[in-house]
Amino acid sequence: MPFYPDGSHITGIDLSPAMLVRAGKRRAKLGKDVELLEMNVLATTFPNQHFDAIVATFLFCVLDEDHQLPALRELARICKPTGVLRFLEYTYSNDPIRHFMMGLWAPWVRWMYGAAFDRQTERYIPQAGLEVVETRFLFKDTIKLIVARPASETGIGE
């Protein structure tokens, strides 16, 4: 929340009431205009082409493979044709030592947070009607930013 520009209206969704309580405390502390809703990303109640921008922070690492494409399709549905989608995700490092350590942590991370380092969200993006605009690592080679936008009918974003 602290990174969104002042004056922005932010809508946050989560399935977990406990996470929404935590977000509510952060909202109050920061004084941001944030609407928090208990909702499933696989089937939101938002109208088509509702949002200018969509941010999903470590969402896809907690979604099983069979939920990746439906979630991306839902986010594509609620994003305006001129909108942008940003996904922040974990990925296994290519560094052998870091990869080994992440492999040791993986069962605990899966048990504690329901997250996995091996999701391949990018491969589903075209099937969801989106196109990748940019990918880059924000921390080492373990936290990746994926920027996408709705694909036009010609296959090139607007």
Spell out the domain ranges in the chain: 40-150
pTM of the model: 0.85
CATH of domain 40-150: 3.40.50.150
Beta carbons within 10 angstroms of residue 24's beta carbon = 13
Per-residue pLDDT of the chain (158 residues; tens, 9 = 90+): 777 777 788 899 999 999 999 999 998 998 888 999 999 999 999 999 999 999 999 998 889 889 999 999 999 999 999 999 999 999 888 999 999 998 888 888 888 887 888 888 888 999 999 999 999 999 999 899 999 999 875 444 44
Contact indicator for 115, 68 with CB cutoff of 8 Å: no
* C-alpha dist (Å) from residue 97 to 18, 91, 144: 35, 14, 19
